[in-house]
Amino acid sequence: MIKQFLDSPQSWQITLANAIHDPKELLALMELDSYPQEISKSIERGFSLRVPHSYVARMKKGDPNDPLFLQVFPLAIEDKTDPSFSLDPVGDLTATTVPGVLQKYIGRVLLITTGACAIHCRYCFRRHFPYTEHHAVKNYWREALQYIAQDSSIKEVILSGGDPLVLSDNRLANLVQKLEDIPHVKRIRIHTRLPIVLPERINESLLYWLANTSLQRVIVIHTNHANEIDQNVVSVLRKLSDIGCYLFNQTVLLRRINDEVDTLVNLSERLFEVGVIPYYLHMLDKVQGAAHFEVDLIKAQSLYKKLRAQLPGYLVPLLVQEQAGAPNKLPLFF
């Protein structure tokens, strides 16, 4: 039985509410007042700037090429349409079974628990996703839970979004308790960027319900550069590991951010130092507005060959691409 938690605003929620939304404020904090690039109009059309102050604190002031800054600043180049990019690059809408439930692969389903995130990464593959019509919380997860209960082949439920850890501990704990009541569900997998961008979210109440569920717990964090992993991040990752969570990382290969072999080596080494297994190195999902982040396949495979030569096998993430309709993520190096 997972206990209830107070619904009063917690410190992480206050911090999140105070996140930066104004590009000019971010430029001022970065000491880039004369930054020459134009700002994307997408911030006025639904995909706003959003970045917590603690994440900005890890950026190098005065550096317009800082790899953390480049992930979040909305450049005008986002507004350019590329015919080889789409609004739904991985086929999420086609894979939707009932509201908020995506089933692409055998034995597992993905729940769109929320459309909210703590940070708006400009390469996000769901930046155009119609969350209003397609999230499971819309009917208190009733249809989603019924769907899962009726399919005994489902062993794993993936909590995604948005970012599931934006939800309160009461809502998450109640959902997990309902999943515990489905006999064939063995584990939950949480895809989240919050331990990286808002580490204070990993508080005692979250650790309590995670520690006390009977389900196996897999947490897949999303980090793309070793500079994202400061001591606050290290501390919360170790707390998650200490309560028995299995920790993995997904990285997106991004032009000008991590498309150098030394950057990828440093990231894998740093992850392993703090108890996280490098899991996937994703090619960019070709979402409209993110073409300027793309690394071409020839360069990606060349980088990967060098990465394999410099690291032991257990520190080399799988280079993959997600393709709409495919039965699994496609490996790109043999």
What was the pLDDT predicted at 150?
97
The reply to whether 117 sits in an annotated binding site is yes
* The token pair that represents 290 in the structure block: 């993110």
What was the pLDDT predicted at 137?
64
Do you know the residue count of the chain?
334
What was the pLDDT predicted at 100?
87
256: left (phi over 0), alpha (psi -120 to 50) or beta: left
Residues of the chain with pLDDT under 50: none
Closest among 84, 73, 17 to 40, alpha carbons compared:
73
Q: What is the DSSP string of 214-250?
A: SSEEEEEEE---GGG--HHHHHHHHHHHHTT-EEEEE
What was the pLDDT predicted at 128?
83
Inter-residue contact 87 to 128 (CB < 8 Å): yes
Domain 79-331 has CATH 3.20.20.70: yes
Inter-residue contact 215 to 177 (CB < 8 Å): no
Closest among 50, 194, 65 to 122, alpha carbons compared:
50
Q: How many CB atoms lie within 10 A of CB 25?
A: 13
| CB-based contacts of 61-66 (< 8 A; 24+ apart in sequence) | 61/29, 61/30, 61/31, 62/30, 62/31, 62/32, 63/30, 64/30, 64/32, 64/35, 64/37, 65/256, 66/30, 66/227
What was the pLDDT predicted at 187?
98
Q: Give, in order, the Cα–Cα distances in Å from 242 to each of 2, 91, 138, 222, 239.
A: 19, 36, 33, 19, 5
From the number of C-beta atoms within 10 Å of its C-beta (0-12, 13-18, 19+), residue 314 rates as exposed
What was the pLDDT predicted at 139?
64
Q: Return the amino acid letter for 115.
A: G
The reply to whether 245 sits in an annotated binding site is no
pLDDT digits (tens, 9 = 90+) for 200-228: 999 999 999 999 999 999 999 999 999 99
Q: How many CB atoms lie within 10 A of CB 120?
A: 19
